[in-house]
Chain A
Amino acid sequence: MSQTLELKKVEEPELTFTQWWKNVYLGIKTTFIGLKITMKYVWAVKPVTIEYPEVREELPANSRSRLFNDAENCISCLQCSVACPVDCIYITAVKRDADAPKIKTKDGTAIKLDLKQYTIDTALCCYCGLCTTVCPTECLTHTTDYEYAQYTLAAMKYDYLAPDIRAWRHRIVKD
């Protein structure tokens, strides 16, 4: 195989002695201009980073983090699971008995279905917020919790009817 590789080079004027000195001068000058800018950051600028485990950042109020469903106000309309683009909301509901006592949500909508299962796979969730916008009773909301790492994938599945998740309802929902 005979092939000549040539270094692609743009034609430049020949380097004269004056040009060489000019290059050295420009190199030193512009480096000092840069150093002047960076040196300011050594003393004159306050640190902006947050030292995480000691200082925890407060997220804005409408931040889209861990989902929470206040199951007592849920009417099992399935709109959230339909709107979900990744299908991570699993709902099972059965029809309420006719002779059972009539219950209502906080805003007065009658609950006609008994919620048997309300599970969100948080590992699958893409936090797009589409499910919260369609919720008619506004029981499904994003919270500002952001520290919820788990050891297993199964632990990321939140069953909102389970007692342990009902426990942190009191922290989030202000009655």
Chain B
Amino acid sequence: MTIPIVPKLLRSHLSDLAERDARIDGRGRWEGRKLEVEHSILPRAEGSARVRMGDTIVLAGVKFQIMTPYPDRPNQGGLMCSAEVRPVAGRNWESGPPSPESIELGRVVDRGIRESGCIDVDSLCIIPGEKAWQVILDLFAISDDGNLFDAFALAGIAALRNATVPAERFEVGEDYPLSVSKTPIMCSYHKVGGRFVFDATAREELGGDERIHITLGDDNNVHSLQKGLKGIFSAGEFTEIMDNAIERTKKLRKIVDEL
């Protein structure tokens, strides 16, 4: 991704807004953009979802492959999660090998889902030591107006929770729904104008500083954390966003669970 020149004017505008506890698009500090989540929208994927948050739009698709289990874990399948942000999604994204930004996106989402234990890797075993399912979650950005992290994480878990294991096509039995026992949810906070806000837009990201991503499980257990970009934050600031994430993830989890 090419980082555009950050106009000083934008930064000072964001600081002025922050002093009045306002945001560039009129939202409150902890207010998310209008959210739409749809699932099973891609005919070729075994599970899929589309998430729209304001002008940010992403797709998630689940595919399955048969793998040979790793020798030290003969009874386990695998989960792979990758994110691609191609030039279609914004003028600053360029073609070529995956950028560090898109690799970070994929890995942070992957950790939240993997560490929550929502997919029982033992259940993915077909023949111990010989055959197991590899679940591949591909996250794909259509339009980047900021906070791809939350959009990807939400689309990812929504796609997994509505995925079907294509056993018939691989001639290893009948199709069955992928078992996903939990709903890990990520919430991201960006420091804009000196204070953290929820669900930043691209302009807030551009004129802001560091970001923090928190993934919480069903029981509010913490499954992944990531601090990105340059910036310093205090323990007090972190407590404040963690408290917000606990409330926010509950609401988002309800939306995903009721799909």
| Chains A and B belong together in one complex | no
Give me the interface of B with A, judged by CB distance under 8 Å: none
Residues of chain A having any CB pair with chain B under 8 Å? none
